[in-house]
Amino acid sequence: IKSMAEQNHSTVTEFILIGFSDHPKLGIILFLVFLSFYLITVLGNMGMVLLICLDNRLHTPMYFFLSHLSLLDACYSSVIIPQILITLVTGRTSVSYNSCATQFFFFTVCAGTECFLLSVMAYDRYVAISNPLLYTTAMTLGTRWGLVAGAYAGGVSGAILRTVCTFTLSFCGSNKINFFFCDLPPLLQLSCSDTTTSQILILFFGNFVILANALMILVSYLFIIRAILHIKSVGGKVKTFSTCASHITAVILFFGTLTFMYMRSNSNKSLEEDKVVSVFYTVVIPMLNPFIYSLRNKEVKAAFRKVMNRTHIF
């Protein structure tokens, strides 16, 4: 039986991505749209990283974590969008088995790490608001790197588990993925193996990561709200809570789409809905995050004006 499974497994050497086959006439328009989104995402996120590195006023724990979030978002998009652009401009929809597994692994690393990092950022806000005088002492450079390393370790370990569970399955039937990148739901649908054990492991770990980090964020904000309620002035309460507004927005967008995509029952799932949602969290959210964290942030605006003035003078 094992040798037969291995033989069947070897029959699929590439996958065909047919996610855009329903809209062949929109190829050029979709290419321009995705290219614009990608350029804005990379320039916005890497610009945020560069800005934080250049301005000493942004060398604080909050912006340290934000720089890693921006780096993740740039990588997130770079794992998915270039392959979409190649498909749209050349019409080549085939992707090798190894390339599909590689894309799936790095996509899962970025998604998992971002879950943990958003949780770390919530904890950072809790420390900053509950103990403002001890904030810099508590969030030393070593502590920051430890928390970020933990986020990356969580993302990588989850990606290894999900990738191994997915790509040790046998793919011996159709190799057409009705999606625009190698994601978990369409891959499981193609497998001719018994996916019960793999799905249990993948769903348990995936749901655990989402729920554990969501719970961590919720608990952090409960303590934040308690600390804010002890502030006497209304203006002080509003000003303090406003420092969390960008993070709350990012959390709602990211965890909301992940929950809708991966935690619904199979009976409620629609492939077309999954396509729309996956575009949102792989393309749109990474593009929006730099704007979410900068539009209402006076420090980022001031740092940007300072850099632009330097550039103008030069």
Tell me the per-residue pLDDT of 106-161, one tens digit each, with 9 for 90 and over: 999 999 999 999 999 999 999 999 888 888 888 999 999 999 999 999 999 999 98
* pLDDT at residue 80 greater than cutoff 70: yes
What pLDDT, on a 0 to 100 scale, did the predictor assign at position 7? 45
Rg (CA), the chain: 22
Which has the closest alpha carbon to 252: 296, 289, 295? 289
pLDDT average, residue stretch 51-65: 89
Q: Please, where are the H alpha helices in the chain?
A: 2-10, 27-54, 61-90, 97-130, 135-138, 141-167, 184-190, 196-229, 234-262, 271-279, 285-294, 298-313
Residue for token pair 């348990």? 204
pTM of the model: 0.87
What pLDDT, on a 0 to 100 scale, did the predictor assign at position 313? 56
Domain count within the chain: 1
Q: Across-strand partners of 176?
A: 16
CB within 8 Å of 74: residues ≥ 6 apart: 41, 42, 45, 46, 49, 286
Range of the domain at 63: 2-313
Both tokens of 112, joined, read 């998992």
220 phi and psi angles, rounded to 5 deg = -60, -40
* pLDDT at residue 268 greater than cutoff 70: no
| Greatest mean pLDDT among 2-11, 50-59, 87-96, 216-225 | 216-225
Both tokens of 18, joined, read 């047919």
Structure-model confidence comparison of residues 236 and 11, the more confident one: 236
Q: Which pLDDT band holds residue 72 (cuts at 50, 70, 90)?
A: very high
* pLDDT at residue 306 greater than cutoff 80: no
Q: Which of 1-15, 68-82, 176-190, 298-312 has the lowest mean pLDDT?
A: 1-15
Tell me the pairing of strands 14-17 and 176-177: parallel
Q: Which of 14-23, 79-88, 277-286 has the lowest mean pLDDT?
A: 14-23
Per-residue pLDDT reduced to its tens digit, 1-26: 344 344 444 467 788 888 776 666 77
Q: Across-strand partners of 15?
A: 95
Domain holding 309: CATH number? 1.20.1070.10
Q: How many other β-carbons are positioned within 10 Å of the β-carbon of residue 47?
A: 16
Rounded Cα distance between 194 and 188, Å, is: 10
Structure-model confidence comparison of residues 28 and 156, the more confident one: 156
Helix 234-262 to helix 271-279 angle, to the nearest 10 degrees?
A: 140
